[in-house]
Amino acid sequence: MVTHIPWKLVLSASSVLVAFGCWQLGKRVWHNLRSPLRALPGPKGTSWLYGNLKDIFNAENSVLHEQWVGQYGTTLKYKGFFFSDRLFTMDTRALNHVLTHSSDYQKPPVVRYNLARIFGEGVLFVEGMF
C-alpha cells in the first residue's frame, strides 16, 4: 500500500510554525530593545540558554549576589533564560516602595497560576486593593 504525503499541507504547516517562531523572536527582541533595564549595569550572561541562572543555582547561598552588588551596586540586571533581562535590587527605598505599593506591582498571570496550584487561592494568593 502506497501512502500519499500531502506536501502542500506539510509545507503550509511548517510555514505557519516558522512564521510564529519569527514573530515570537521579533517580539522578544523589540521588548529587549525598549526595556528600561538596558541602562542598568550587570554581569554578562554565561549561557545563551540559561543566562546567569546556572551560576546563581550553583553558587553557595548569596555569595554571587554579594559579589554582583559589590561590583555593580545595589540595583542591577542579570540574564535569565534566552538572555532576558531580570531586575535584582537590594536598595531599601526601592524595596519599600514595591512592598507598600503592591497593587502597582502585581504578579504575572503565569506566576499567579503556579502559586494557585501550589498554595491554593487563599490569603497568600491575594494582591492589590482589599
Domain tally, the chain: 1
Grid cell at residue 110: 503565569
In a domain, 63, yes or no: no
In a domain, 122, yes or no: yes
Domain assignment of residue 109, given as a range: 91-130
**Among 82, 87, 100, CA closest to 21:** 82
Q: Can you give the pLDDT at residue 2? A: 52
pLDDT tens sequence across 2-57:
577 788 888 999 999 999 999 998 998 888 889 999 999 999 999 989 999 999 99
In a domain, 77, yes or no: no
Give dist(CA 46, CA 57) in Å, integer.
13
In a domain, 105, yes or no: yes
* pLDDT confidence band for 89 (50 / 70 / 90): very high
